Structure 1
């Protein structure tokens, strides 16, 4: 789906790609995501690009190396290449702007997603989702000079408002 000058895809999130490497001569890629509570990528390392995050809305926790960084609306987080990093959504949803410098690594997301049917989070489905297994993800990541080095961040307890307890 093309929307707002971007390409919309679904994983467990809505990703709206605003600038791809092919649009910027390889200089960068930029996308906005609407992400549900508890979502977290596995701990991973980029060997080619630096990654930056700007929290547009919601609450998140970022892990950059050994440091945990709370992310609320307006937080900027820098994840340099060769440093393991990941994030987790702690509020009901979060809106996140992600930047790769240089661009190109966003291609992995197109392998792991499907075209969005609407500019919303994907609706829950009772049908099994056939996606790549861990070995396939590792092979795809390697193609984009990324390594998966650990599991997703565990979800902490939370109340009805979706915020973590304690």
Structure 2
């Protein structure tokens, strides 16, 4: 039996406005059965997220455009286009965009965390950076603010 390619072209894919950034879903765990792949894009400003960690999965980031600071386990990592960052399970992390903002891909293994961002996108602007709103939604998705 031959499978069918899952294709998301430029401008396609579910997009969620998170205030400080936008998330575009390229593949979720319903499509892959194993992981989720998303693209985040936004402007410079404060952190794009609150400090948090995940017990049950790892996140990877690949910077496409711009410059970011990924703080992983308390260590700031300067990341320009072409940089890959893996955040291990149980490791606190945050993301801050540099001047001009930028874009990166996020790989979540196993998948499912993109559903949290969809929920956060339905709340008031920038709920992703609001510790109270984030804690309530995050607890259902193994994204624990620290």
| Bin for the TM-score computed over the shorter chain | 0.7 to 0.9
Question: Could you say what secondary structure the match of 1:58 adopts?
Answer: strand
Which aligned runs of 4 or more in structure 1 are off by greater than 4 angstroms? 128-133
Cα distance, 1:129–1:68 mapped onto 2, change above 3 Å = closer
Bigger helix share = 2
Structure 2 equivalent of residue 79 of structure 1: 87
TM-score where L is the length of structure 1: 0.73
Could you tell me which of 43, 55, 58 is aligned with 1:47? Answer: 55
Could you tell me which of 121, 139, 144 is aligned with 2:141? Answer: 144
Q: CA RMSD in A?
A: 2.0
Structure 2, unaligned runs of 5 or more? 1-7
Structure 1, unaligned runs of 5 or more? 115-127, 150-166
2:42–2:102 Cα contact (<8 Å) kept:
yes
Question: Could you say what secondary structure the match of 1:109 adopts?
Answer: helix
TM-score where L is the length of structure 2: 0.83
Please tell me whether Structure 1 or Structure 2 has the larger radius of gyration of its CA atoms: 1
